[in-house]
Structures are given as structure tokens and as C-alpha cells.
Amino acid sequence: GSGEPWLKSEKYVELDEKAQLPCVLKSPQCEGLHSIKWYRGPTRIFIFSEAAGIIRGNNDIAARADIEYSANSSKTHLIIPNVRLEDEGLYKCEATYLAVNRECNNVQHIILNITKMMFENLFIGRSNRML
């Protein structure tokens, strides 16, 4: 059913840190992964397949992003090193399998939020001095 919590999730990553956006795979029960597609909003970042590797889209995020994947794993990650503020937004992972089975194919949405810690650190520093 659609009550699977991982179909929509939120991720908070600090500015300039590495973002790892998860995508749950059904590889063990759905034979043969055909491809994994990652999107940010309407923009396709890349298509990954075991046969062809990564085929990147022609955009800034595609040039920086990478995939963490191992065969028969139940999860894969979109990796964005040194996230920028403009990387915020809705990401979509679409996994397609060779098995012709509607239960297999799945789409997941991950909202990436970029946080900035520096303001809080300044504030903490100031309150300590007042004590």
C-alpha cells in the first residue's frame, strides 16, 4: 500500500556538508534493477543503471552529484558533496526493475533542507560571555 513512510521523507543537511539522500530499493524481491533516476524538481540529475553506469543530465547539480550503489542492496544514496543553498528542494528517486510487476517500480520523494549553524554558534558564544 501507500502507507510506506519512506515514500516521502525530509532530510536536513548543514551548508557545505555532504548530503546523502536515500532511495529504498526492492532489488531482492524484484529481480533485476533496470535503472534509478534522480530528479530535483522537474530537472533530471542522472539515470543510473548497472550496465551503463551514470548518464548525467546537463545541469550544475548533475556535474557535482554522485550515486552510492551496490548490487542487491536494499538502499542507494544520491550523494551531493558540499551542498549549497540552491540545492534545497524536492528530490525524486525513481527505481525501475526488469520484472514487469507494478509492485516493484517505486517513486520516492525527499525534501532536502539546508541548515546554517553559524548564527546559532554566534548566539551561544554571546550567551556564555554574559554568564
Q: Mind listing the domains of the chain with CATH numbers?
A: 8-115 (2.60.40.10)
- pLDDT at residue 82, rounded to an integer: 95
pLDDT single digits (tens) 1-13: 455 666 899 999 9
CA distance linking residue 122 with residue 78, whole number of Å? 32
Check: CB of residue 34 under 8 Å from CB of residue 47.
no
pLDDT single digits (tens) 78-105: 999 999 999 999 999 999 998 777 788 8
Of 16, 21, 8, 41, the closest CA to residue 107 belongs to 8
Check: CB of residue 84 under 8 Å from CB of residue 114.
yes
